[in-house]
Amino acid sequence: AMLATKISFMNEMANIAERLGADIEMVRQGIGSDSRIGYSFIYPGCGYGGSCFPKDVNAIHRSALAAEYEPSLLAAVETVNQRQKQVLFTRINKHFDNALQGKTFAIWGLSFKPNTDDMREAPSRVLMEALWQAGASVRAFDPVAMEECKRIYGSRADLHLVDNAMEAAKDADALIIVTEWKTFQSPDFSRLKSLLRQPVIFDGRNIYDPRSLKSQGFTYFGIGRS
């Protein structure tokens, strides 16, 4: 629950930084430089998932309520996280003027974190379901979670699970980074730009440098990045 709290705190700070025109990466560097805090689990993003963090937060929350204590902070941790899982879709919808019908989006990363196929409570699920609801299609790749995605969603016309990251980007209206797999961190950006229908990247894990991508002709949206 403590780790979940750190993540939600940084996500809240990222949302504030964005509205103030600040760069959350500079804020993060400043916060982490304090030895009492450090850099672990202070990376903003599109929300946490998995079985442990949500379960632990909710278990303590329920225990507190059973003891007739209102745990305001724990309630806020989960509220912030659920809201954060909506951030990517909200930004995408705004960029495309609420007209996602018929659009195709490439998603890199389906698992809730790297090095697992676990999609329980994964931000990717919230995002894909919102895109489908808006009439968009998804082309997705994850190094290990493809079978799990098939198990959850089965076969559907608006979900295309492809063999590699670049194949996912082919003819997509934008690329969305949802899981910070190492294999996604240094792609061939020139090739990526040529494959995308529009050179737009929504980076839900802040794995790319905004200035570098903008200099290469991409429209880039991070979490709390200016």
For the chain, what's the residue count? 226
**46 noted as active-site residue:** no
Type of residue numbered 24: I
Please report, for residues 56, 133, 179, the alpha-carbon distance to residue 222 in angstroms, rounded to integers and kept in the order given: 28, 23, 13
Angstrom distance (rounded) from CA 129 to CA 127: 6
Bridge-based pairing of strands 174-177 and 159-161 is unpaired
Angstrom distance (rounded) from CA 97 to CA 93: 6
Token reading at 72 = 């305001």
Say which of 52, 60, 75, 144 is annotated catalytic: 52
| Active site residue ranges | 52
